[in-house]
Chain A
Amino acid sequence: MRTLKWIVFSFLSLLLLGVLSFYLYLYQSRWTADIDLCGWGKTFPYYVASDYYQVNFLDLKNHFISNTKSSDLNTKKDFIIRIRFLMNCNGEIGQFKVKSYDFDYREIDLSPTISKHFTDLLANYQKWTPPLLANGEAANIHAFYSFRIKQGEIIEVLPK
């Protein structure tokens, strides 16, 4: 019985240590992010939070569409560019991660100037309000925007 107790105790200790290390490994990217995340850095998906726009999604879409010319994209290819980002409970954004796809949803490499164009536009858009959860508490969120580009024009901005 005493051996069994020791086995259980050792296993639980190892499990706890493993979970703790994994937790630290996960959150170290949050604690070293280019924005200060509130609390321990937990983030909720964008669709859990209420509206975080000062104006609305249409205003954001117009911001991207009116500030993007065919010459900024400098390619004849059709593609989708997706930017993931974090927003803290004060409505500040950061930690952009860009991926691009062709229209068959295969990953492609885009010119860094195109990625920079979109991340700069997102960084320059500062009309955010703190994202609120259903209980009224301000929270960090993770979100993304993706842009469908056809013949040098933004035809869709997703998701909302």
Chain B
Amino acid sequence: MKWLKITYNVLTVSLACVILLFCASLAFPVTRGFYFLSIGGQLCYNGFNDIGSSISHYGIEGELSDIAELQRSFSVQHTKNGNYHLAIKALEKAKELDPEVKAYYGWVLLYYYRDYERAYQILDEYDRLSPNFSDPVVGENVNYLKGLAQLKRGNAKLAIHEFTTYIDYVSATAGEEWVDVYAFINRGTAHLKLAEYTAARQDFKKAIKHYDECTEAFYLMAQSYLKEEKVDSAKQAIQKANSLMERGWKHEINYVESFHEIYPQEVERLRQKLKSRLLK
């Protein structure tokens, strides 16, 4: 009974200390800001977008507004919730505070906003911070991302140049097997746009060499064969793409559509087109 009483008293005092510390921390603008930021972020994550935005926005104002990493973190959930005005304002501020943020800013503009002009401009600014070096960006590579932006802007030749810089850099430093397979796919797509079908197929074959269940490579290869009226080869490639697609093999990202995403109805459409061509 005595020990129970002692434990109870110790617990009460500890709890009182915790409460006191919590109240004291509220007096400091920085910790208060953190609380608002965390609570607002959690509310946004759970879908209480309006109130979550207001609370987290309140947290990021004042003392915390000069911390680039916090501005960047604040932008993440708002990008994911489609609160573009809040996210971009925070990223602009973070970019001014720390130029290294340009890596993330360019990446997010490319993937989540599909703002190819601005994404290219910011990634290029970031790339120029360390010339003669192919920088990593959010687990990818700056030249690969610049290539994607150029490809989507319709500058296929410039895209090929960027993809090649990335592929050559990784091949020379780590080996070709470490190159992202989809860099070959995207460089091949750029060649396709320039009607350079043989070069395009070389890239698709390289993608298949490193990943033999790459549905996108077979699908695009079928397209390139069809452009040159090589219907038999196109049919073989599309059948392979179709069987892989039926087994669910395709590149997907949880958050956004990937840049080289293909869908079953596209594969089926090309398959039917080739079928009708063979019958003629």
What residues of chain A have their CB less than 8 Å away from a CB belonging to chain B? 1, 4-5, 7-8, 11-12, 26, 42-45, 47, 55-59, 80, 82, 84, 86, 97, 99, 101, 103, 105-107, 141-142, 144, 146, 148, 156, 158-160
Contacts and interface: CB of A to CB of B under 8 A. Distances in A.
B128 interface: no
B136 interface: no
B16 interface: yes
21 contacts: A5-B12, A7-B16, A43-B46, A44-B46, A47-B254, A47-B255, A56-B265, A82-B84, A99-B82, A99-B83, A101-B85, A105-B87, A106-B85, A141-B47, A146-B84, A148-B114, A158-B112, A158-B114, A158-B257, A159-B82, A160-B253
B114 to A, nearest CB: 4
A105 B89 CA distance: 8
Contact of A59 (B43, B81, B88, B265): B265
Contacts of B47: 43-45, 86, 141-142
B278 interface: no
B211 interface: no
Given A47-B255, A56-B263, A97-B50, 14 more contacts: A26-B43, A26-B48, A26-B51, A45-B45, A45-B80, A47-B254, A57-B263, A101-B84, A101-B85, A105-B84, A142-B46, A142-B81, A144-B81, A160-B253
Contacts of B114: 148, 156, 158
A75 B115 CA distance: 21
A4 B85 contact: no
B49 interface: yes
Contacts of B266: 58
B15 A160 contact: no
Interface residues of B, number: 36
Contacts of A43: 46-47
B48 A97 contact: no
Interface string B36-58: 00000001011111110000000
Main secondary structure of the interface of B (DSSP, over half): helix
Contacts of B48: 26
Nearest to A104: B88
B27 interface: no
A142 B50 CA distance: 13
Contacts of A45: 45, 47, 80-81
Interface string B136-153: 000000000000000000
Contacts of A56: 263-265
B263 to A, nearest CB: 4
Given A42-B46, A158-B114, A82 B9 contact: no
Given A45-B80, A142-B49, A159-B255, A105 B112 contact: no
B151 to A, nearest CB: 14
Contacts of B129: none
